[in-house]
């Protein structure tokens, strides 16, 4: 067996009173992929940042090909052969895709910016390798989500790292895209790189990795083959959780003659691009409706039209009156609350302040009661109250965004891709929370998802949105047979 490329031991990181990483050790050999799993906030991203030198460890050793780099600045660790693909995309927005990749290819000195013809051809080759060949000259803001993730991968491989740290590459991707990304990561193995992979898509991680390590509250809990680790009692309890089961209610059981929300023949144009075309959906009071569709199908545009954030043709009726011409603020005050895919948290404000903002229109007593209920739902949010929102882990931010939306006491709650980046066990909790809402309140929910396994069990009715149009409508029981093929 060859010597490990990466050898970590006793790695520890404290943030104030919180020990985010406690004495973690791991080894990865050339051509090996190690999966790192664990619930939200268990310290996975922090482990990567410590290895990469983005955060300084309080203790521990990080050996890259035998050299201890713990505590070195990030650029030196990069030069030693370590690259990272971040959980969140961070493109330079004024540069094109190609320019973004070229920048990653440059040496640390800026003197010969873009002068070297080799840089151009290398960048193009990398772009093609990750599947960005067709969008070289576009700006990041105009790219679909998956392409932004591809760009992060391209930037990481640009420096030809021996060790690649990949944080949640699959979040928000469709199954086809996950397949492409898996193949790319597999090719790293064939090139003899050492890969550390974090993702909550348990199935895809298991299929890809040689070994898995599981963490909980900053500590090691299990390691072995994917099969061994997924069978582990503690991993099952704290991470995987149980299956999601709920039952759809037939449309006829909703008594309102006129649906609460009625979207009719809605069209949205972005410049010349038709983002929605003759879209009609309706939602009854108390009903849970899922809109499923791939990235770019138009889900977010539909929700933004309902929330009054984009101009549209056609009509959107709310409790019998048309919403057209009303401001987003007025629409929100009237009970339509959207939890956006992009979360839109106030990063410099604390967790508690973000929540309180959501509940500012409530009386003090009501606000407290609601906060208590949300803390029960998301205990980790309770524990993180004083922390700045931007320092929360990916999944914790998602939970806070959902909690803030619920704080507003919506009549219609619009959840846009709520499952993004959540651990299976949190999905189960969220699922139970939605189920409880369904049984104990008259809240109406419109859920946008491409994660069909989550969207189906929570829906009374399902719409499929494809290329700006609704192509199927029905109850979830019929979905698999009639519409599921491409989405399941």
Ligand X SMILES: Nc1ncnc2c1ncn2[C@@H]1O[C@H](COP(=O)(O)OP(=O)(O)OP(=O)(O)O)[C@@H](O)[C@H]1O
Q: By CB under 6 A, name the binding residues for ligand X.
A: 15, 18, 20, 38, 40-46, 384, 387, 391-396
Contact predicate 11/58, CB 8 Å:
no
CA atoms within 13 A on the CB side of 385: 9
Determine how β-strand 67-68 pairs with β-strand 59-64: antiparallel
**Rounded CA separation 375/381 (Å):** 6
- Extract the tokens encoding 284: 């009854």
**Rounded CA separation 445/453 (Å):** 17
Contact predicate 24/78, CB 8 Å:
no
Q: Which does 83 bind (CB under 5 to 8 A by kind): Mg ion, ligand X, none?
A: none
Contact predicate 12/58, CB 8 Å:
yes
128 CB contacts (<8 Å, ≥6 apart)?
Answer: none
Q: Closest CB to ligand X among 338 and 397?
A: 397
Q: Closest CB to ligand X among 421 and 476?
A: 421
- Extract the tokens encoding 121: 């051809």
Q: Which does 91 bind (CB under 5 to 8 A by kind): Mg ion, ligand X, none?
A: none
Instruction: Kindly write out the interface string for residues 387-406 of this chain, putting x where it contacts Mg ion by CB under 5 A and - elsewhere.
Output: ------xx------------
476 binds Mg ion (CB under 5 A): no
CA atoms within 13 A on the CB side of 432: 12
Q: Closest CB to Mg ion among 18 and 362?
A: 18
Q: Which does 46 bind (CB under 5 to 8 A by kind): Mg ion, ligand X, none?
A: ligand X
Q: Closest CB to ligand X among 44 and 149?
A: 44
Q: Closest CB to ligand X among 393 and 450?
A: 393
Q: Which does 40 bind (CB under 5 to 8 A by kind): Mg ion, ligand X, none?
A: ligand X
Shortest-Cβ-distance residue relative to ligand X: 395
Q: Which does 222 bind (CB under 5 to 8 A by kind): ligand X, Mg ion, none?
A: none
Contact predicate 27/6, CB 8 Å:
yes
Q: Which does 455 bind (CB under 5 to 8 A by kind): Mg ion, ligand X, none?
A: none
Q: Closest CB to ligand X among 4 and 394?
A: 394
45 binds Mg ion (CB under 5 A): yes
Helix (H, G, I), strand (E, B) or coil at 216: strand
Q: How far is the CB of 389 from Mg ion (least distance, A)?
A: 15
Q: Which does 41 bind (CB under 5 to 8 A by kind): Mg ion, ligand X, none?
A: ligand X
Number of H helices, E strands in the chain: 18, 20
Contact predicate 449/277, CB 8 Å:
no
Q: Closest CB to ligand X among 354 and 387?
A: 387
Q: How far is the CB of 350 from ligand X (least distance, A)?
A: 11
Q: Which stretches of the chain bind Mg ion, using CB under 5 A?
A: 45, 393-394
């Amino acid at each position: 067996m060859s010597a490990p490329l990466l050898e970590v031991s006793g790695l520890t990181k404290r943030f104030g009173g919180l020990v985010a990483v406690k004495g973690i050790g791991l080894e990865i050999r050339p051509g090996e992929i190690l999966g790192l799993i664990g619930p939200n906030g268990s310290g996975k991203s922090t482990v990567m940042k410590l290895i990469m030198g983005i955060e300084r460890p309080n203790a521990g050793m990080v050996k890259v090909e035998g050299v201890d780099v713990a505590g070195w600045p990030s650029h030196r660790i990069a030069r030693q052969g370590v690259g990272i693909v971040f959980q969140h995309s961070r493109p330079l927005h004024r540069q094109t895709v190609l320019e973004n990749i070229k920048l990653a290819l440059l040496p640390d000195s800026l003197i010969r910016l873009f002068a070297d013809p080799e840089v151009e051809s290398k960048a193009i080759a990398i772009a093609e390798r990750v599947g960005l060949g067709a969008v070289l000259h576009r700006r990041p803001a105009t790219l679909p989500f998956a392409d932004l993730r591809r760009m992060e991968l391209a930037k990481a491989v640009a420096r030809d790292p021996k060790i690649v740290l990949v944080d949640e590459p699959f979040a928000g991707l469709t199954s086809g895209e996950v397949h492409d990304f898996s193949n790319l990561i597999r090719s790293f193995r064939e090139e003899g790189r050492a890969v550390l992979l974090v993702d909550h898509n348990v199935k895809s991680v298991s299929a890809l990795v040689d070994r898995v390590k599981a963490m909980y509250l900053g500590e090691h809990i299990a390691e072995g083959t994917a099969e061994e680790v997924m069978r582990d009692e503690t991993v099952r309890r704290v991470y995987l959780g149980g299956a999601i089961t709920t039952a759809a209610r037939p449309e006829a059981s909703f008594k309102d003659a006129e649906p609460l929300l009625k979207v009719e023949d809605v069209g949205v144009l972005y410049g010349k691009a038709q983002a929605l075309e003759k879209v009609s959906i309706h939602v009854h009071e108390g009903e849970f409706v899922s809109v499923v569709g791939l990235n770019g199908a138009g889900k977010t545009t539909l929700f933004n039209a309902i929330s009054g954030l984009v101009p549209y043709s056609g009509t959107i009726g709310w409790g019998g009156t048309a919403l057209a011409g009303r401001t987003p603020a007025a629409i929100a005050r009237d009970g339509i609350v959207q939890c956006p895919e992009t979360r839109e948290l106030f990063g410099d404000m604390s967790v508690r302040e973000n929540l309180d903002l959501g509940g500012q229109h409530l009386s003090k007593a009501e606000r407290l009661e609601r906060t208590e209920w949300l803390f029960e739902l998301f205990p980790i949010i309770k524990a993180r109250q004083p922390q700045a929102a931007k320092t929360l882990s990916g999944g914790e931010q998602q939970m806070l965004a959902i909690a803030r939306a619920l704080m507003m006491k919506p009549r219609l709650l619009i959840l846009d891709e709520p499952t993004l980046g959540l651990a299976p066990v949190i999905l189960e909790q969220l699922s139970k929370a939605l189920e409880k809402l369904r049984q104990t309140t008259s809240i109406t929910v419109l859920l946008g998802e491409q994660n069909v396994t989550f969207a189906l069990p929570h829906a009374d009715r399902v719409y499929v949105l494809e290329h700006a149009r609704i192509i199927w409508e029905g109850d979830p029981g019929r979905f698999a047979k009639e519409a599921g093929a491409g989405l399941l």
